[in-house]
């Protein structure tokens, strides 16, 4: 049995109706999943979480130093 291809949703897009300019129904965007993609995505999620936590910590410290309630 051949290996089934897997896809990961990376976003959505919607075209506009040429007559009215309104958005048409949204359509999901997918990319083909490569071997090891999920493992690297998990690492990236941890990295971005650490980065955002550090920025929030610095923001709160700056607000407290300026006397602004957080």
In SS3 terms, 2-70 reads as CCCCCEEEEEEECCECCCCCCECCCEEEEEECCCCHHHHHHHHHHHHHHHHHHHHHHHHHHHHHHCCCC
pLDDT in tens, 31-56: 888 776 667 777 777 788 889 999 99
User: What's the pTM?
Assistant: 0.42
Whole-number pLDDT of residue 42:
72
Whole-number pLDDT of residue 1:
63
- Average pLDDT of the residues in 12-21: 96
């Amino acid at each position: 049995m051949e290996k089934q291809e897997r896809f990961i949703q990376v976003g959505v897009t919607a075209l506009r109706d040429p007559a009215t300019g309104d958005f048409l129904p949204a359509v999901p965007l997918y990319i083909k999943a490569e071997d090891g993609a999920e493992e690297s995505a998990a690492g990236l999620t941890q990295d971005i979480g650490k980065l955002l936590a550090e920025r929030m910590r610095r923001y709160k410290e700056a607000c407290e130093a300026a006397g602004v309630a957080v």
